[in-house]
Each structure stands twice: as C-alpha cells, then as structure tokens.
Amino acid sequence: MIPNISPCVRCGRPCRPGNSKNPNARPFRLSKKGLCGECAVTQFLLCDDMEPVRIGVLRNGVEVLREPAIQQQFAAILRVGGSELPAEDINWETVIEQWDLPFPKGLPDNQNR
C-alpha cells in the first residue's frame, strides 16, 4: 500500500503526511499537511530562536550547512527533543538549494512537517 502523498506548501515537493504519535516531539512533529522535512528545517533555522545560525549563514553563506559539525549538532537537537523528523532523513543539499524560497503567508512559525 502506497502512503498518501501531499505536496509541501512551500516547495511543492511530495511528502508523506502522517499523524503525530508524540505530541511532545520538539522541534518537529508529523502533520496531515504542511512542510516537507527540508522546508521545516529551513523555517526552524530562520526562526528568532535560532538567530546565531541565521547570522552564521549570512556571514558565511548557506553552504556552511554542509559542515558535518553543524549537521551533527542539529541531529543532537532532534534527538534531545524527541523529534519525529529523523536527522538521517534531512537532505542538506535540498535545504541549501531551497534556502531562499519564500514561505506561504499565514504559515505558523515552526509548522509541523
């Protein structure tokens, strides 16, 4: 059986929506519609709480997200928060390619994926 596929509301890429099994998962929970994992990661990195990352990207370019140390630190954030987005599912090249795409108006901050 093929799971339902829904387009990401930001990039249009197909993603698999689902029901959250952990309402306490932070920073990401599954949802029935919303952002793909890569767009959710981008939105999270651009939020006010992540200002040091945003400043680092502005100073060094978005390519800094390729650095293994940054990816490992992000994976630790996901683990500690019980995120429903596994770190190994994040395609950092897609995050970098789509960094400058706009987010749709009315999308809540840190929309669930």
Going residue by residue through the chain, which has 113 residues, state the pLDDT in tens, using 9 for 90 and above: 445 788 999 999 988 778 888 888 888 888 777 899 999 999 999 988 888 888 988 899 999 999 999 999 999 999 999 999 999 999 999 999 999 999 998 765 544 44
Phi, psi of 105 (to 5 degrees): -65, 145
- Determine if the peptide bond prior to 52 is cis (ω within 30°): no
- The pLDDT value given to residue 30: 81
pTM, rounded to two decimals: 0.84
Closest to 102 (Cα-Cα) out of 2, 13, 19, 11: 11
What sign does the CA torsion over 104, 107, 109, 113 have? negative
CB 91 within 8 A of CB 38: yes
Q: How many of the other CB atoms lie within 10 Å of CB of 57?
A: 19
